[in-house]
Amino acid sequence: DTGVSQNPRHKITKRGQNVTFRCDPISEHNRLYWYRQTLGQGPEFLTYFQNEAQLEKSRLLSDRFSAERPKGSFSTLEIQRTEQGDSAMYLCASSQQGDPTPLHFGNGTRLTVT
């Protein structure tokens, strides 16, 4: 069990650019979640997958955000036309199917939009 891996750890981009983050979950976990965390706040749910199916999307996930999980393994989160308000820590978590099961979080990707 190598844990949830997220890359890159840090990303600085200019407003209007597109960015993509990657998450590799714990291998036997079939559920994968994306959360966003801003300074002084708790993680806010964005979306989650069970295997390759995207089961739920938060209203926070605007049209500029898209997430994929091809083949039910790693996942990518893309933000198009970034805005300064997108600056945050993007956290990925995975869990086994079954409820409730603990979420295992990665260490996040910190995005700074200048």
Partner 1 sequence: QQQVKQSPQSLIVQKGGIPIINCAYENTAFDYFPWYQQFPGKGPALLIAIRPDVSEKKEGRFTISFNKSAKQFSLHIMDSQPGDSATYFCAASVTGNTPLVFGKGTRLSVIA
CB 90 → partner 1: shortest distance, Å?
A: 11
Pick between residue 44 and residue 52 the one whose CB is nearest to partner 1: 44
Residue 36, C-beta contacts closer than 8 angstroms, at least 6 positions apart: 43, 44, 46, 60, 88, 89, 90, 91
CB 47 → partner 1: shortest distance, Å?
A: 9
The amino acid present at 17, given as its one-letter code, is Q
For residue 10, report the phi and psi dihedrals to the nearest 5 degrees: -135, 145
Our separate counts of H helices and E strands in the chain read: 0, 11
CB 99 → partner 1: shortest distance, Å?
A: 4
- Give contact residues for partner 1 (rule: CB under 8 A): 4, 33, 40-45, 48, 56, 91, 93, 99-100, 102-108
Pick between residue 1 and residue 14 the one whose CB is nearest to partner 1: 1
